[in-house]
Structure 1
Amino acid sequence: MQPWSNEAAYQRIEQTSTEMLSEMKQQVSQSLYTQTFHLQPPFGAAGKPNGMIFYKGKYYISHEWYPFYSKQGLSYGYQYESSDLVHFNTDGSVLKPDSQYDNYGIKGGSTFVYQNNLHFLYTGLGLSREKLLFPYQLLAFINNHHQANKYPKPVVENPPENFLPSLQDPSVFEKNGQYYALFGAQTEEMQGRILVYHADNPLNWQYVKPIKTQLTDFGNVWTSPDYFTLNGYDILMFTAQHEEGSTQAGFLLGHLDFNNFHMNHGDFKLLDEGFGFTSPQTFVDNTGEIVLMGLLEAQGDIELLNQADLAPCLSLPRTLSIEQGKLYQRPYKAYETLRYNEETALGYANKFMRQLHPYEGEQFEMCIDILENEATEIYFELRTSRNNATLITYNTHSRLVTLDCSESGALPQGDFGTKCSVQLAKPLEQLRIFVDSSSIEIFCNDGERVMSSRIFPAKDSTGIRTATESGQVYLKFTKYNLNSIFDLEL
Structure 2
Amino acid sequence: MTTRDEELRQAAYDEMNKHKVIVERDPYRLHYHLMPPVGLLNDPNGFIQSGGVYHLYYQWMPFKTGHGAKFWGHYSSRDLVNWTHEEIALTPSEWYEKNGCYSGSAIEHDGKILAFYTGNVKGDEGNRETYQCLAVSEDGVHFDKKGPVVHLPDAFTAHFRDPKVWKQDGKYFMVVGAQTTDLKGAVAILKSENLTGWTYSGILTGGGKGKLADFGYMFECPDLFQLDGEDVLIFSPQGLEAEGMKYRNVYQAGYVKGSFDPENPAFEHGDFEELDRGFDFYAPQTTLDEHGRRILFGWMSVPDQNEQDHPTIDYKWLHTMTLPRELKLVGDKVWQIPVDELSDLRAEEAVEHAVTLVKESKALESVRGKALELQLDDICIEGGWMDLTISDGARLLYHPGDKVFTLERKSYVDGTIEKRQCTLNELNSMQIFIDTSSIEIFLNGGEETFTARFYPSPNLDRITFSASKKAEFRLKKWSLGK
**Contact 2:278 2:420 survives alignment (8 Å):** yes
User: What per-residue deviation string (whole Å, max 9, x for no partner) do you get for residues 6-49 of structure 1?
Assistant: xxxxx94523684x543322221011111111111211111111
Alignment of 1:53-72 (within 5 A): 53-72=48-67
Instruction: Provide TM-score, normalisation by structure 2.
Output: 0.90
**C-alpha deviation, 1:66, in angstroms:** 0.7
Change (3 A) 1:96 1:17: closer
Change (3 A) 1:192 1:12: same
Is residue 474 of structure 1 aligned with residue 446 of structure 2?
no
Give the structure 2 partner of residue 15 of structure 1: 11
1:217 to 206, 214, 217: 214
Alignment partners' CA distance in 2, 1:66 and 1:237:
25
Alignment partners' CA distance in 2, 1:323 and 1:469:
33
Alignment partners' CA distance in 2, 1:303 and 1:165:
30
RMSD across aligned C-alpha pairs, in angstroms?
2.3
Change (3 A) 1:248 1:131: closer
Alignment of 1:181-330 (within 5 A): 181-212=174-205, 213-242=210-239, 246-297=250-301, 299-300=305-306, 301-302=308-309, 306-308=313-315, 311-330=318-337
In structure 2, the residue corresponding to 1:92 is in which secondary structure?
coil
Alignment partners' CA distance in 2, 1:270 and 1:334:
26
Alignment of 1:369-384 (within 5 A): 369-382=377-390, 384=391
**Contact 1:105 1:124 survives alignment (8 Å):** yes
Change (3 A) 1:374 1:17: closer
- In the alignment, residue 193 of structure 1 is paired with which amino acid? A
**Contact 2:72 2:90 survives alignment (8 Å):** yes
Alignment partners' CA distance in 1, 2:20 and 2:57:
19
**Contact 1:302 1:413 survives alignment (8 Å):** no
In structure 1, the residue corresponding to 2:367 is in which secondary structure?
coil
In structure 2, the residue corresponding to 1:469 is in which secondary structure?
strand
Alignment partners' CA distance in 2, 1:125 and 1:219:
22
Alignment of 1:39-118 (within 5 A): 39-118=34-113
In structure 2, the residue corresponding to 1:26 is in which secondary structure?
helix
Is residue 155 of structure 1 aligned with residue 149 of structure 2?
yes
Return 267-276 or 68-77, whichever deviates more. 68-77
Alignment partners' CA distance in 2, 1:72 and 1:306:
13
User: What per-residue deviation string (whole Å, max 9, x for no partner) do you get for residues 223-277 of structure 1?
Assistant: 1000111111110110011178921100001112333344332220111010121
Instruction: Provide TM-score, normalisation by structure 1.
Output: 0.89
Give the structure 1 partner of residue 3 of structure 2: none
**Contact 2:240 2:251 survives alignment (8 Å):** no
- In the alignment, residue 350 of structure 1 is paired with which amino acid? V
Give the structure 2 partner of residue 394 of structure 1: 398
Return 208-217 or 242-251, whichever deviates more. 242-251
Alignment partners' CA distance in 2, 1:206 and 1:220:
24
Alignment partners' CA distance in 2, 1:40 and 1:31:
13
1:344 to 327, 341, 352: 352
**C-alpha deviation, 1:459, in angstroms:** 1.1
**C-alpha deviation, 1:468, in angstroms:** 0.9
**Contact 2:65 2:313 survives alignment (8 Å):** no
**Contact 2:65 2:317 survives alignment (8 Å):** no
Alignment partners' CA distance in 1, 2:265 and 2:124:
34
Alignment partners' CA distance in 2, 1:191 and 1:413:
34
Alignment partners' CA distance in 2, 1:39 and 1:303:
17
User: What per-residue deviation string (whole Å, max 9, x for no partner) do you get for residues 132-175 of structure 1?
Assistant: 44221111111237310011x41112x22231112100000111
Give the structure 2 partner of residue 487 of structure 1: none
**C-alpha deviation, 1:356, in angstroms:** 1.5
| Identical pairs, percent | 29
**Contact 1:375 1:468 survives alignment (8 Å):** no
Is residue 33 of structure 1 aligned with residue 28 of structure 2?
yes
- In the alignment, residue 14 of structure 1 is paired with which amino acid? Q
Alignment partners' CA distance in 2, 1:243 and 1:423:
20
Alignment partners' CA distance in 2, 1:64 and 1:114:
23
Give the structure 1 partner of residue 424 of structure 2: 424
Alignment partners' CA distance in 2, 1:211 and 1:423:
30
Change (3 A) 1:399 1:16: closer
Alignment partners' CA distance in 2, 1:109 and 1:305:
27
**C-alpha deviation, 1:310, in angstroms:** 6.3
Alignment partners' CA distance in 2, 1:323 and 1:183:
27
User: What per-residue deviation string (whole Å, max 9, x for no partner) do you get for residues 277-313 of structure 1?
Assistant: 1000000122111001110027413275535476111
Change (3 A) 1:350 1:69: farther
Change (3 A) 1:288 1:125: same
Change (3 A) 1:194 1:307: farther
**C-alpha deviation, 1:129, in angstroms:** 11
Alignment partners' CA distance in 2, 1:228 and 1:452:
23
User: What per-residue deviation string (whole Å, max 9, x for no partner) do you get for residues 307-359 of structure 1?
Assistant: 54761111010001111222111001100011023211112112211111232
Return 204-213 or 75-84, whichever deviates more. 204-213
- In the alignment, residue 397 of structure 2 is paired with which amino acid? T
Alignment partners' CA distance in 2, 1:104 and 1:468:
53
User: What per-residue deviation string (whole Å, max 9, x for no partner) do you get for residues 361-386 of structure 1?
Assistant: 0111001123443132111112x1xx
Alignment partners' CA distance in 2, 1:311 and 1:361:
22
Alignment partners' CA distance in 2, 1:402 and 1:422:
7
- In the alignment, residue 52 of structure 2 is paired with which amino acid? G
**Contact 2:9 2:88 survives alignment (8 Å):** no
The alignment covers a number of residue pairs equal to: 461
Change (3 A) 1:315 1:247: same
